[in-house]
Structure formats: structure tokens, C-alpha cells
Amino acid sequence: MDTQHTWKEAFLSYKHPRVLGMLFLGFSAGLPFLLVFSTLSAWLRDEGVSLAVIGFFGWIGMTYSIKVFWAPVVDHIRLPRFLGRLGRRRSWILLAQLGIVSGLVGMALSDPSVNLHAIIAFAFLVAFSSATQDIALDAYRIEAVETELQGNMATTYQLGYRLALLVAGGGALFIADFWNWSAAYFSMAACMMVGVITIFIIREPQVGQETLQNAPQEEALGKRITHWFYRSVVAPFHDFFQRYGWTALTILLLIGLYRLPDLAMGIMANPFYLDLGFTKTEIAQIVKVYGFVMTVLGATIGGLAVVRFGIAAPLLLGAILISASNLLFAWLAIKGADTNFLVLTISADNLSSGIAGSVFIAYLSSLTNTAYTATQYALFSSLMTLPGKFLSGFSGLVVESQGFAIFFTLTAFLGLPAILLVIYLIKKTKNQLLKI
């Protein structure tokens, strides 16, 4: 997007119907995430599971980080029968949503104090289905509107996503505090109907992409499969490296490191609050509800900044804020259960996360070619989460050996490489690779 717009034009762009529609799809994407991540960690800690074991549960989230391996299937295979009538994007989203609902019901019927393996199995089903939904949903988001509205799509997506995090975080904690964890997870399964209903309302984007079914029929099956494999798996990666050359490696490295401070500490957040002495209701009110407001504010600022100023400066600001805000958690660990300081910490952290989230989603979207949308975006989003999710598996061991203050300080320093990479790309490309 080379032409800058006025603030009024930036605000009016949010009235676009597809931009508004992303609110509900973002909710569908965000709801499962915490239920296999920090909300699950609170449940496990409540049941007396050790921090070391809870940390290793973070590896379930690596499912989101390896979705690139089945993204070509979602990108280019049409589902048969009734689902296929919805179109390639909507049918895969609906199938994934049904898998999420099944997994959440299974978790609700399980008891981690009796059968931890069942929780692991159903949590994996939720994570796998959620990652599959993300593949198709990211492709829909990118294909549904023109490039200059991607920042807006990212913002409303973030808003819906954060609403879902509020429900799956604060809502689940409230329900667990007043009833029990099974009731909380049954309720979350019911909330997935928001996404299911939305799929039957929205329309399929009209983007021509080749599938195995419409490969040349006169060719033998082996040649058709080879042709499809090249188009679905090889071509998306070849296209990306062809467009960006050796700079593509720097871009991929930045993608892998940008959210590292957030992801590495995330699974320890709820156990941290509980161990400090905050109640589940206090966590829900301050961390989830109030934190949601600050995140929405940050996401809105991030989306407007992209429309107004382009991507370079907001991307650098987001990287700095993500890293710096983790130091407040280290300070909170030293101060103890100070409610006022918790509010300050959550304000800074969620505002930073909202800004960085909108900006980074817009940046990743700008890197894709609509001929290979799902596969390329899955590559980017997989790289974005893989290093952080891998490191999060060891977070419990670090906390048990070094304490929370040292742990959060270490996660803050994990953000320095991303800051340096953004500066390098700005100088090397004179902002050309950081514009949308």
C-alpha cells in the first residue's frame, strides 16, 4: 500500500462487510487456543500437577507450529459430499470446528487427576483441529479482500480472537470457580457454535486455485498426483524464495523470533498468578477481562498505525514493546500479590501484544501470493510459533530451578534478535519489504 490515507479514511475502512465478518471468524479461531494452553495449565495446577509437567504440556501447542506439513492438503483438496458444497475454505473450516467441539467435550468428560493421558489425547485433537481451522481461515482472510484492507482484516480478526480469549480465559475461570472445570469445558464447546453458524452465513472467496480434482483428467493418476504435489507443495516455497531471493531467509528468521518472548512465557502465566496467591476470580477479572480491553485497544492502534504509516515503524515498535513488557512480570514476581502492580503489568503487556499482533498479522499477509495463500501463510505462522512453543516446554524446569523473576527476565532478552532483524530489514531494503 504505497498511498497513505487520512485518519478518517482509516476509520471508515472498518465498515467494509468482510472486515466486519472477520470478527466472528476470529472468535472461532481464538476460542480453542487457551483451552489447550494457559487455561489448561490453570486446571492442571489446580489439580496439583507439577510446574515441570505443565511446562511440557506446552508442546501440545507445537501442533500449531507444524501445520505447514498438512497445509497443502487443506489448500488444494476439496472435501467431498455435503461439506464440499460449502467451497474449499468453508468446508475445511467447518470440519475443523467439529473436531474442536469433539475434543473439548472429551476433555470435559476427563479427570486429569485420574487419567492425564486422556487429557493429553483430547487436547491434541483440539490443537490439531484448531491448527487445521487456522490454515483454511487464514487463507479465507487473505483472499476475501484487497491488499490495502489486510490491516483492517487483521484488526477485526484480532478483536474476535481476543473476545474468544476472554471467554476461554476469563469465562472459563469464572465457571470453574463457581462450578467446576468440566462445566467450563462443556461451556466452551457450546461457544464454538458461533463459528459453525458463521460458516453457513459467509460466502466463499472467488480465487482461482488448482486442486487435485481439477488437474488435467487425461493424465494418468500418477502424473496427476505429481502435478498436484508440485503445485501444492513445491511451488509455494519456490514462489516465495523467487520473489525475495536470499532476503527470504532473513524474513523467515524474523518470523520465527518476533513473538518469542510472548510464547516462551505464556504457559507459565496462570500458574504464576495462582502461585503468587491471586484467586481464579481475580485472575479472570484483571488478567482476562481488563486485559482484553487493553488488548483490543492495542490491536486497534496497531491496525490504524499500519493504515496510516505503513508497516516498518509499527513492526519495530511492536518488537520493542513485546520484549520490554516481560520485565514487568519479573518485577511482579519480586513484589508478590500486589493487585495494583498486576493491573499495571497487564496494561503494558496486553497493549503491547495487541499492537504487535495486528501489525505482524498484516505483515505476514502481505508476504503471501494468493495462488498459494494457505500454504504460504501456514509456513509463516508455523515459523512464528515453533521456536516459542518449543522453548515453552522447558519453562517449568527453569521456573522450578531459578524462580519466576529470573525466568521472566530471560524471556525479555529473547526479544532482542527480532528488534535487530527489523532494523536490519528496514536499512537493507529501504522499507520496500516492510510495506503493504
Distance from CA of residue 421 to its chain's centroid? 21
Question: H-type helices in 179-290, by residue range?
Answer: 181-191, 193-199, 221-229, 235-244, 247-257, 260-266, 269-276, 280-282
Share of the chain above pLDDT 90, in %: 46
Q: Quick check: is 405 in a domain?
A: yes
Portion of the chain with pLDDT greater than 70, in percent: 88
CB < 8 Å & 24+ apart, contacts of 211-215: 211/76, 211/77, 211/78, 211/88, 212/76, 212/77, 213/77, 213/78
Our count of domains for the chain comes to 1
Query: What pLDDT is attached to residue 430?
Result: 61
Categorize the per-residue pLDDT at 1 as very low, low, confident or very high, splitting at 50, 70 and 90.
very low
> Distance of alpha carbon 52 from its chain centroid, rounded?
24
The reply to whether 346 falls in a domain is yes
Average pLDDT rounded to a whole number, residues 122-136 = 95
pLDDT band at 433; cut points 50, 70, 90: low
Query: pLDDT of 90-122, one tens digit each?
Result: 899 999 999 999 999 999 999 998 889 999 999
Alpha-helical segments (H) within 172-219: 172-178, 181-191, 193-199
Residue 329 in any domain: the answer is yes
Long-range contacts (CB closer than 8 Å, 24 or more residues apart) made by 243-249:
243/369, 244/433, 247/425, 247/428, 247/429, 247/433
By three-state DSSP, how is residue 100 classified?
A: helix
| Domain assignment of residue 136, yes or no | yes
Q: What is the pLDDT of residue 210?
A: 47
* Predicted local confidence at residue 188, as pLDDT: 97
Between CA 187 and CA 339 the distance in angstroms is: 29
Instruction: Give the domain range for residue 211.
Output: 7-434
> Are 157 and 26 a contacting pair, CB within 8 Å?
yes
Residues 243 and 246: their CA atoms lie apart, in Å, by 10
In a domain, 159, yes or no: yes
pLDDT at 227 (0 to 100) = 72
Q: How confident is the model at residue 2 (pLDDT cuts 50, 70, 90)?
A: very low
Residue 56 cell numbers, joined: 511440557
Task: State how far the alpha carbon of 323 is from the alpha carbons of 143, 319, 381, 388, in Å.
Answer: 32, 6, 19, 13
Top-confidence residue, 211 or 186: 186
Q: Which of 147-156, 261-270, 333-342 has the lowest mean pLDDT?
A: 147-156
CA neighbours within 13 Å on the CB side: how many for 190? 9
Whole-number Cα distances in Å, 44 to 38, 55, 137, 188: 10, 11, 30, 17
Residue 152 pLDDT more than 80? no
Least confident residue range of 85-89, 146-150, 177-181, 356-360: 146-150
- Tell me the three cell numbers of residue 334: 519480586
Per-residue pLDDT at 7: 58
pLDDT in tens, 159-184: 898 789 889 988 999 999 989 999 99
Of 376 and 116, more confident: 116
Q: 377 or 343: whose pLDDT is higher?
A: 343
Please give the average per-residue pLDDT across 128-137, as a whole number: 94
Q: Does 155 or 314 have the greater pLDDT score?
A: 314
Name the percent of the chain in helix, strand, coil, to the closest 5.
80, 0, 20
Cα end-to-end span (Å), the chain:
5
In a domain, 2, yes or no: no
Interior angle at CA 423, CA 311 and CA 265, nearest 5: 85
Does 1 map to a domain? Answer: no
User: Does 118 reside within a domain?
Assistant: yes
Ramachandran region of residue 77, left (φ > 0), alpha (ψ -120 to 50) or beta? beta
- How many CB atoms are closer than 10 A to CB 182? 16
Contact criterion met (CB below 8 Å) for 365 and 150 = yes
pLDDT tens digits, residue range 317-371? Answer: 999 999 999 999 999 999 998 999 999 999 999 999 999 988 998 888 888 887 7
Q: What is this structure's pTM?
A: 0.73
Sign of CA dihedral 370, 375, 378, 383: negative
pLDDT range class, residue 260, cuts 50, 70, 90: very high
* CA triple 303-58-23, angle to 5 deg: 30
Please give the backbone phi and psi of residue 338, each rounded to the nearest 5 degrees, phi first: -100, 110
Residue whose C-alpha cell reads 520490554 in the numeric block: 324
Burial pattern 216-237, b for ≥16 Cβ within 10 A else e, equals eeeeeeeebeeebeebbbebbe
Looking at residue 141, what is its pLDDT? 84
User: Averaged over 9-16, what is the pLDDT?
Assistant: 66
More confident: 241 or 307 = 241
CATH of the domain at 171: 1.20.1250.20
Angstrom distance (rounded) from CA 207 to CA 143:
7
Question: How confident is the prediction for the chain on average, in pLDDT?
Answer: 86
List pLDDT tens digits, range 188-246. Answer: 999 999 999 989 988 888 765 444 455 555 556 567 667 767 776 788 888 888 988 88
Q: What is the largest CA-CA distance in the chain?
A: 72
Which of the four pLDDT bands, split at 50, 70 and 90, describes residue 436? very low
Alpha carbon dihedral 333, 339, 344, 345, in 10-degree steps, equals 30
Indicate the range of 40-44, 52-56, 148-152, 367-371 predicted with least confidence. 148-152
